Amino acid sequence: MDTIEQLVAEAKAAEASETYALRALASMDLTSLGLDDTEEKIADLCRKAVTPKGNVAAVCVYDKYVPQCRKALGGSGVRVATVCNFPHGGTDIAAAEAEAKAQVAAGAQEVDVVLPYRAYLGDDRETAVELVRKVKKACGSEARLKVILETGELRDPRVIRDASLDCIAVGADFIKTSTGKVAVGATLEAAAVMLRAIKGVQPGIDRPLGFKPSGGISTVKDAAGYLYLADAIMGEGWATPETFRFGVSSLLGNVLTTLGIDANTDDGSGY
């Protein structure tokens, strides 16, 4: 297999195309996690999730908006995700477990939990991983669990690999790069490490494993790099909405423009 450096160089050279734009659209977790979110903003997010070229995979919102999104998107196939232990990745296991239980009860179909990355870096990996285990238990069979590693803070590729494997071992369905709330979001280097971790353990895991880059992905060219990596490492055909998501708030407009749709025009199509 090529080295990570070679793969990343090739991924950076991937060009924007309609094919990559369509793949990005189908695998998008369209996200609004602002302190200024309102019911009106979330309603607009739900409208944008349904486009003339296909729907996004999910919307990701704070949990108080989950029922609104479930109602608005019913029948569309768009899933509703929320965030837990977000964004700081605290170490209160009981609080995170209770939060996730309430989110699932409210209708969340996916939960993106922040790994207590500071504890993980500070030689308290046991607490960090146990929080993920308990949140997975709270999700049960009702919701997919995505674990946010905050790779921009973990930094060391060996630590990113270890955190990926530890979270998968306690039930993560997806491993995700970033909250989007720290200085360094997704990077192709971290993505390559995480995808290789999935590749290495998937044969021994009896559930699909997924990957979600998030933080700083705003153009089809950005997305193309991550999709190229997934194809190169996992094999072409692996990266579907069941196994690959983009956590994004601003990518949709560039995707639609690439596909020849005026992102600023309300044509009654749902966008």
Q: Looking at residue 198, which CATH number applies to its domain?
A: 3.20.20.70
Q: Is the residue at 14 inside a domain? A: yes
Classify residue 8 as left (phi > 0), alpha (psi -120 to 50) or beta: alpha
CA dist 100 and 82 (Å) reads: 9
**Catalytic residue at 71?**
no
Q: Is the residue at 125 inside a domain? A: yes
Q: Is the residue at 191 inside a domain? A: yes
Q: Is the residue at 37 inside a domain? A: yes
Catalytic residue, candidates 29, 63, 112, 222:
112
Number of domains within the chain = 1
Max distance between CA atoms of the chain, in angstroms, equals 54
Q: Is the residue at 151 inside a domain? A: yes
Amino acid making up residue 37: D
Catalytic residue, candidates 63, 166, 176, 222:
176
Q: Is the residue at 264 inside a domain? A: no
Q: What is the CB-side half-sphere exposure of residue 222 using CA atoms within 13 A?
A: 19
Q: What is the CB-side half-sphere exposure of residue 108 using CA atoms within 13 A?
A: 28
Domain that holds residue 137: 4-258
- Tens digits of residue pLDDT in 2-14: 899 999 999 999 9
Q: Is the residue at 271 inside a domain? A: no
Residue numbers in the chain where pLDDT is lower than 70: 1, 264-271
Give the count of beta carbons closer than 10 Å to the beta carbon of residue 161.
17
**Catalytic residue at 222?**
no
The 3-class secondary structure across the chain, one letter per residue, is: CCCHHHHHHHHHCCCCCHHHHHHHHHCEEEEECCCCCCHHHHHHHHHHCEECCEECCEEEECHHHHHHHHHHHCCCCCEEEEEECCCCCCCCHHHHHHHHHHHHHCCCCEEEEECCHHHHHCCCHHHHHHHHHHHHHHHCCCCEEEEECCHHHHCCHHHHHHHHHHHHHCCCCEEECCCCCCCCCCCHHHHHHHHHHHHHHHHHCCCCCEEECECCCCCHHHHHHHHHHHHHHHCCCCCCCCCECEEECCHHHHHHHHCCCCCCCCCCCCC
CA dist 95 and 68 (Å) reads: 24
Q: Is the residue at 265 inside a domain? A: no
**Catalytic residue at 176?**
yes
